[in-house]
Structure 1
Amino acid sequence: MEFLDITSIRDTRFGKFAKMPKSQKLRDVFNMDFPDNSFLLKALTVVSGPDMVDLTFHNFVSYKENVGKVWAEDVLALVKHPLTANAPRSTFLDKM
């Protein structure tokens, strides 16, 4: 099982700012070569990493248009919340 710690998320990107996936199979499924494709309206990229140099990009695709925008705003709101980085010591001990 793999998980992503919310404190390591640096940014969320949606729409034309989302990173295009490298997988050729995914490109074929969504017909990304056509100019009238609405794939970017369904795409969400979560940028994470221990610092601003070593970044990892996680791509997500929603079933409807503009759902990625709502997801991006909600995830970024959780990341920017003051209690996310400044939780009590007991929370960090439980996490370990």
Structure 2
Amino acid sequence: MAGAQPGVHALQLKPVCVSDSLKKGTKFVKWDDDSTIVTPIILRTDPQGFFFYWTDQNKETELLDLSLVKDARCGRHAKAPKDPKLRELLDVGNIGRLEQRMITVVYGPDLVNISHLNLVAFQEEVAKEWTNEVFSLATNLLAQNMSRDAFLEKAYTKLKLQVTPEGRIPLKNRSEAS
């Protein structure tokens, strides 16, 4: 091989690294296009970068697998609310233009069956940081091609994130299981 050099690769694989601000969490407002309800949440990422999850005022936790994320957009590329009442609710008491603080996370099992998670940050810099970090975690090649041990750790992390306030693993829809 005439031009090959040992130890030199065109593609540098970087291990998954979650920033401290994502682990600690940030306040956002979550909204849906279908309703005029806005929900204040705290958005976090687990230390391994498997999931990002949010907790609302009622201490209910929802999570999203970062391997399902296809795109993360902020600013004018994010989805904007069509309802003027909803837009007004999102823009109350905040500094900076609403469009620059909006984030849309596109996720799904493939590029045809997608959903959107719409968020509004309280500061423009926070929106940009979260968008860049979530996109880099979702497109990391080492995260997309994990070992069996990493998949077991991911399943364990998911169980730990979904515990009840008493520290127990929830049994959803127990009446259906009987």
| TM-score interval for Structure 1 and Structure 2 normalised by the shorter chain | 0.7 to 0.9
Report which structure shows greater RCO (CA 8 Å, sep ≥6).
1
Residue correspondences, number:
91
Q: Aligned runs of 1:1-96 on 2, under 5 Å?
A: 1-21=61-81, 25-29=85-89, 30=91, 38-94=97-153, 95=155
Could you tell me how far apart the structure 1 residues matched to 2:132 and 2:79 are? 17
Letter of the 1:61 partner, please give it.
V
Gaps of 5+ in 2: 1-60, 157-178
User: Equivalent residue of 2:152, what SS?
Assistant: helix
Normalising by structure 1, we get a TM-score of 0.81
Could you tell me how far apart the structure 2 residues matched to 1:68 and 1:51 are? 25
Larger Rg: 2
RMSD value over aligned CA atoms? 2.1
Please report how far the alpha carbon of residue 93 of structure 1 lies from its aligned counterpart in structure 2 after TM superposition: 2.9
Q: Is the 8 A contact 1:21 1:59 kept in 2?
A: no
- Percent identical: 36
After superposition, the C-alpha distances for 1:23-80 in whole angstroms (9 at most, x for unaligned) are 665312227xxxxx81111001000000101111001111112321111111111111
Q: Return the structure number with greater strand share.
A: 2
Normalising by structure 2, we get a TM-score of 0.46
Please report how far the alpha carbon of residue 2 of structure 1 lies from its aligned counterpart in structure 2 after TM superposition: 2.3
Gaps of 5+ in 1: 32-36
